[in-house]
Every structure is written in C-alpha cells, then in structure tokens.
Amino acid sequence: DAGVIQSPRHEVTEMGQEVTLRCKPISGHNSLFWYRQTMMRGLELLIYFNNNVPIDDSGMPEDRFSAKMPNASFSTLKIQPSEPRDSAVYFCASSLGENTEAFFGQGTRLTVV
C-alpha cells in the first residue's frame, strides 16, 4: 500500500489567499485525522472523521479553517483567508477503525507570507 498521501508537500502562499490541503487515506481505513505541527504548540489534533463524518472538530482553531471528507478516499483541509500564523506542517493520518493505530502521511509544509 502507498500509505497516506498528502498534497502538496510544500505550499507557499500570500496572506489572505485560500489554501487547500489534500489527503488520501490508506484504502480501507475509515478514520481520518488532521494534525498541525508548530514549534510553539507541537502536534495538535485539528479534526477527525469516522466513516466520512466529522466527529470532533474542537481542535479547529477558528472559522477560517474547514475540513471535508466527501468520500472514503479523499479529504481536504481549507484555510480561507490564510494568515502568517497558520504557517505549520499539516499532517493527515488514517486508521482502520477508531481503536487501532494511526498511520501518518508525509505532511504539507505551509508557509504564509
């Protein structure tokens, strides 16, 4: 299996622009997670889906952030409008059910200038 696939690997955008990060989970996995990694806050969970349904979005920092999972093989994390403080590495992870380990993608490094 190719693992969790994220795109793009790197994204540089100007403040105020819309940014969309993409994730393809491992085939057959039904739980999907978005994490953000920063120097200040470390790794933190933003949102997770189970069977394509958002279960917990309490980690989403503000309304500028939104996530969707239209089907079992694709998810997006959108930031609109982006701000410099959104600069971070965003990881997507998936798991086979809620009580198994999560496998992580390579991450998307976002830089907002």
Partner 1 sequence: AQSVTQPDIHITVSEGASLELRCNYSYGATPYLFWYVQSPGQGLQLLLKYFSGDTLVQGIKGFEAEFKRSQSSFNLRKPSVHWSDAAEYFCAVGGLNTGTASKLTFGTGTRLQVML
The span of 19-27, 39-47, 63-71, 74-82 binding partner 1 (CB under 8 A) equals: 39-47
Among 11, 21, 26, 33, binds partner 1 (CB under 8 A): 33
Q: Are 79 and 18 in contact (CB under 8 A)?
A: yes
Query: How many helices (H) and strands (E) would you count in the chain?
Result: 0, 11
CB count within 10 Å of CB 24 equals 18
Q: Which residue has the tokens 């997770």?
A: 48
Rule CB under 8 A: say whether 1 interacts with partner 1.
Answer: no
Give me the phi and psi of 47, to 5 degrees please.
-160, 150
Q: Which stretch, 14-22, 43-51, 60-68, 77-85, contacts partner 1 (CB under 8 A)?
A: 43-51
Q: Considering only residues 15, 28, 38, 44, which one is a binding residue for partner 1 as defined by CB under 8 A?
A: 44
Contacts of residue 85, defined as CB under 8 A and 6 or more positions apart, other chains included, come to 112
Nearer to partner 1, 4 or 112 (CB): 4
Residue from 14, 18, 56, 83 touching partner 1 (CB under 8 A): that is 56
